[in-house]
Structure 1
Amino acid sequence: MVLPLRLIPRLAAAARLPRAPRPISCRKTLAPALAMAAAYSTGTGADRRLLFRQLFEKESSTYTYLLADVADPDKPAVLIDPVDRTVDRDLNLIKELGLKLVYAMNTHVHADHVTGTGLIKTKLPGVKSVISRASGAKADHFVDHGDKIHFGNLFLEVRATPGHTAGCVTYITGDGDGQPLPRMAFTGDTLIIRACGRTDFQGGSADLLYQSVHSQIFTLPKDTLLYPAHDYKGFTVSTVEEEVAYNARLTKDKETFKTIMDNLNLSYPKMIDVAVPANLVCGIQDPPPKI
């Protein structure tokens, strides 16, 4: 049975409403996520707290996400899954928007690119790096399941979602007064639009990934926006309701899912021998010499 899905309005349409704390509902099937607007706003005027930008690095098809509380005088911001190749672009954008970067965060230890976290810290020494404790990587701040990362009056909830790697987490916008609606989940490689991350290295487990998605992501409100760390087909955003209905792997029962994952026959990631060692030390491959 095909589930009816709610339409996510474009930002321009939402701007015509005097107050639009949540998307307009529509009882018909969504257009593909490719057509959805990547910009996001929690309202207009004084109600507009969250600034959100979705950025792309083409070599590794990686998405980096910038979130900031622009109603706070300091405009504190977080950057999720930065890439070393695009650090200058990201920092220039942050400067142009008048934001103060507080945290550079990773959803997991990436195998297909070097994180930009270490490079960011050399350019903005006050920024703190964040990664899950279970990742085994170095960082300024380690997070566990249930922790909250605050930036201004907004926060991200941490949910452990292992399976792609043993240390994967999903960052989810807060639940409560003053937090953005609909909620947003940054799923890393745990959930990719209409698919999921591979489970054949770095402590991966198809059994754990299936359990993580169904218990920690698919239990979120149906209109929760899902933003992955990668996309290879041009999609930008999905929803819980969409993935529950249409994800080609995760809609199957667990045993069928495990069989699918065991037979993907994917090639060895070309960057893994460089990326993983670098990312375990926060992305700094050659630290500056001590004087």
Structure 2
Amino acid sequence: MIFRQLFDPVSSTYTYLLGDSGEALLIDPVYEQVPRDQALLQELGLWLLTTLDTHVHADHVTGAWRLRQRCGSQIALAAAVDAEGVTRPLRHGDRIDFGTRHLNVRATPGHTSGCLTYVLDDESMAFTGDSLLIRGCGRTDFQEGSPQQLFASVHEQILTLPAHCLLYPAHDYRGITVTSVAEERRFNPRLGGDVDIGDFTGHMNNLNLPHPKLMAVAVPANLRCGQPEGGAALATETPDWAPLTLRFSGVWEIEPMALLEHGATFQIVDVREAPEFIDRLGHLPGAKLVPLSQLTGRLDELDRERPVVAVCRSGVRSAQASVLLTKAGFGQVANLAGGMLRWRTEGLPVALDAV
């Protein structure tokens, strides 16, 4: 089974990818991170079957609708929420298949009325949303939350899993990535040890936390599964100046043949060192030599209004150059996939002249 834990730094949200036999699920996708998630799915050769949200989030907008537009994936969310756009309403005891594996659905309300926990078939891992965080839990003061319900949910549906079961929350604000049933039974200050329902309820009812900053935007959007208000169509975000592919690293790449066909008006920036520019690999006709070590000091030599394609021997240094150019404000930047090695392998024209 393929497992990846992804992170959104703005909302401190963890998104989880599970894959088996070419099929995948995404748990708690984030709207802004959809290009990243789609790139990873493509690189791993996975077909996205379903997105699953653990609950209606108040601190970010889900990527469920956006991924459905791009991948045709089902949208799964608790039936109790009655959200618009859900294609698979989930109830306690449901099963979600992917490849030869599956997740079991457990209703764990309390943080909100529609919280779910997803448990892997062998009970080696579970995805708890905000019902149980690492040494904590989600608040219970909005979206029909209830400390009494949450206490029961955690103790009856999560902490009854095997002690070795790894628990993956929807958020962590300290960078901690995983815990276990055994740890939370013993060390969770709100729900573990000898804490009883009176202790827990008294604690939760006196948190006096401000509402999440994005709550007024995120909750209504998530009740539409992330679809923009008014049913707006998804605008294309793939650059239209060339046929490009987004890599999981966040770098846009152009294939050698596509560059040959479309690159007459592009700025080709070769970021190798000067001796490499005229070695046996040669360089692209019309390329400008700007070694990576000099790039940030020579940005004024490039036209910010024209697309830039960065090139090196294998595509590694030029990927770094692409990131630097993008951060410097260049809006149309791509990396040549495979660099000069790939260009020569495909028998495309080269130049050998000096700088």
Distance between the aligned counterparts of 2:233 and 2:169, measured in 1? 36
Residue correspondence of structure 1 range 111-150 to structure 2 within 5 A: 111-124=58-71, 126-138=72-84, 139-150=86-97
Other structure's SS at 1:260 match? helix
Q: Deviations over 1:121-162 (max 9, x none)?
A: 1212x2110001012213000110000000111000000000
Q: Count the aligned residue pairs.
A: 230
Unaligned runs of 5+ in 2: 235-355
Give the aligned partner of residue 29 of structure 2. 82
Shift of 1:67: 0.1
C-alpha distance in structure 2 between counterparts of 1:242 and 1:280, whole Å:
34
Query: Aligned letter for 2:196?
Result: D
Tell me: higher relative CO, structure 1 or 2? Use CA pairs within 8 A at least 6 residues apart: 1
State whether structure 2 residue 120 is matched by structure 1 residue 157.
no
Query: Which residues in structure 2 correspond to 1:9-28 (within 5 Å)?
Result: none
User: Contact 1:143 / 1:158 at 8 angstroms: preserved in 2?
Assistant: yes
**Identical-residue share of aligned pairs (%):** 54
Which residue in 1 is equivalent to 2:232? 288
5 Å-filtered alignment, 1:54-203, equals 54-69=5-20, 72=21, 75-124=22-71, 126-138=72-84, 139-175=86-122, 183-203=124-144
| Distance in 2 of aligned mates of 1:226 and 1:67 | 14
Residue 225 of structure 1 aligns with which residue?
166
- TM superposition shift of 1:234: 1.4
In structure 2, what is the Cα distance between the partners aligned to 1:273 and 1:197? 18
Write the distance in 2 (CA, Å) between the matches of 1:136 and 1:267: 26
CA pair 89-186 structure 1, distance change in 2 beyond 3 A: same
Residues 1:277 and 2:220 aligned together: yes
Identify the residue that residue 176 of structure 2 maps to in structure 1.
235
The secondary structure found in structure 2 opposite 1:235 is coil
In 1, Cα distance between equivalents of 2:108 and 2:83: 16
Structure 2: distance between partners of 1:233 and 1:122: 33
Query: Aligned equivalents of 1:289 and 1:279: distance in 2?
Result: 16
One-letter amino acid matched to 2:12: S
Instruction: Please give the alpha-carbon distance, in whole angstroms, between the structure 1 residues aligned to 2:232 and 2:82.
Output: 23
- After TM superposition, give the deviation of residue 289 of structure 1 in Å: 5.5
Q: Which amino acid aligns with 1:55?
A: L
Equivalent position SS for 2:162: coil
CA deviations over 1:90-148 (Å, ceiling 9, x no partner):
10001011101000110110010000111111212x21100010122130001100000
Instruction: Give the TM-score, by structure 2 length.
Output: 0.64
Of Structure 1 and Structure 2, which has the larger fraction of its residues in helix? 2
- What corresponds to 1:254 in structure 2? 197
Q: Which has the larger radius of gyration?
A: 2
CA distance in structure 2 between the partners assigned to 1:109 and 1:103 by the alignment: 16
Instruction: Please give the per-residue CA displacement for 1:57-83, whole angstroms capped at 9, x wherever unaligned.
Output: 0111000000000xx2xx100000000
The residue type equivalent to 1:136 in the other structure is: D
Runs of 4+ with deviation above 6 angstroms = none
Matches of 2:105 and 2:124, distance apart in 1 = 13
Q: Structure 1: state its 5+ residue gaps.
A: 1-49, 176-181
Q: CA deviation at 1:183?
A: 1.3
Match of 2:244 in 1: none
Matched AA of 1:169: L
Q: Which amino acid aligns with 2:139?
A: R
By how many angstroms is 1:245 displaced? 0.3
Paired residues of 1:195 and 1:249 also in contact (CA < 8 A): yes
